[in-house]
Amino acid sequence: MSKIVVDNLRKTYGETVALDNISFEVPAGEFVIILGVSGSGKSTLLRCMSALTEPTEGQVLVDGEPMTQPRPELAMIFQQHNIVGDMSAYSNALSGGINRCGFFESVLQLQDTDEKQRALEALDTVGLLDEAEQKARRMSGGQQQRVGIARALTQLPEVLLADEPVASLDPGSAQDVMQYLQRAANERELTTFISLHQVNIARKYGQRFIGLHNGQKVFDGYREDLTIDVIDEIYGDIDTEGMFVSDDGDGTTPQQSTNENRETGAAP
């Protein structure tokens, strides 16, 4: 588990201000959702946190250490999961340990038993142990994303950063992937950051929420504070109606219940 400090992070691309002096602290083990519309700066924030992108100003500290280059303790999961289709789920998961063994050792799968055990445990965490030998390209989009999560877990990270991990999935697969991310974070006590644009999924799984709008942090709080007014501020002029429509199990949308709760004064 690692504590994260984001300190006055600013990133510009020419005239475009992708991140505008973002600061927050996240204690070890928290499950954080970064919310915002396309272009609000979510990917840039995650990329700066993992040192894949160099900030223009400011810094990210992991347990007090500035992030100046990518480190294996921080694993990144992408929307397009970047797994190798011709390799099995197991081989993809095993490749997450490449930082601990040499390139050729990894390509030739000469890892030791511990490494192989880690890959199998990671597949187990994401519910794919029975599919370990399945070629990744024969798997569904949701399963492929879970292979991507297993590969990240084999890295043995302390921090998991997932950039829109469910954006290209159908609603059912999106819920599955979120459940497995939550399970992985809980079982392995990971500090977790997931960027999403779907409010309903964010509310269902998030513990803490950071809202970005035009590169600025407009919200930082917990579920009970994520009111409809806050959501309006994060999403601006965009109609959020469609972002709430999904299977949450009780037949009401979070937007409805938030409105109802506001009227009755109850917590959402």
Chain residues in the site for ligand ATP (CB under 6 A): 13, 16, 18, 36, 38-44, 164
CB of 17 to ligand ATP, least distance (A): 8
Nearest 10 degrees: Cα torsion 15, 213, 7, 27: -160
CB of 195 to ligand ATP, least distance (A): 6
For residue 58, the minimal CB distance to ligand ATP (Å) is 15
Please list the residues that pair with 211 across neighbouring strands: 35, 219
Closest CA to 152 of 65, 42, 29, 70: 70
List beta partners, residue 160. Answer: 75, 192
For residue 197, the minimal CB distance to ligand ATP (Å) is 6
Q: What is the dihedral of CA 45, 49, 55, 60, to 10 degrees?
A: 120
Q: Are 191 and 30 in contact (CB under 8 A)?
A: yes
Q: Which is nearer to ligand ATP, 39 or 141 (CB)?
A: 39
As measured in angstroms, the least distance from the Cβ of 141 to ligand ATP is: 18
Of 13 and 222, nearer to ligand ATP (C-beta) is 13
DSSP labels, 107-147: HTT---HHHHHHHHHHHHHTT-GGGTTSBGGGS-HHHHHHH
Residues 31 and 207 sit within 8 Å (Cβ to Cβ)? yes
Shortest distance (Å) from residue 57 CB to ligand ATP: 15
Cα–Cα distance measured from residue 268 to residue 260, given in angstroms and rounded to the nearest whole number:
8
Describe the crossing of helices 141-154 and 171-188 by its angle, rounded to 10 degrees.
20
> Nearer to ligand ATP by C-beta: 19 or 123?
19
- Looking at the Cβ atoms of 89 and 202, the one nearer to ligand ATP is 202
Of 120 and 196, which CB lies nearer to ligand ATP in the complex structure? Answer: 196
Token pair of 52, please? 């894949």
If the CB atoms of residues 185 and 212 are measured against ligand ATP, the closer one turns out to be 212
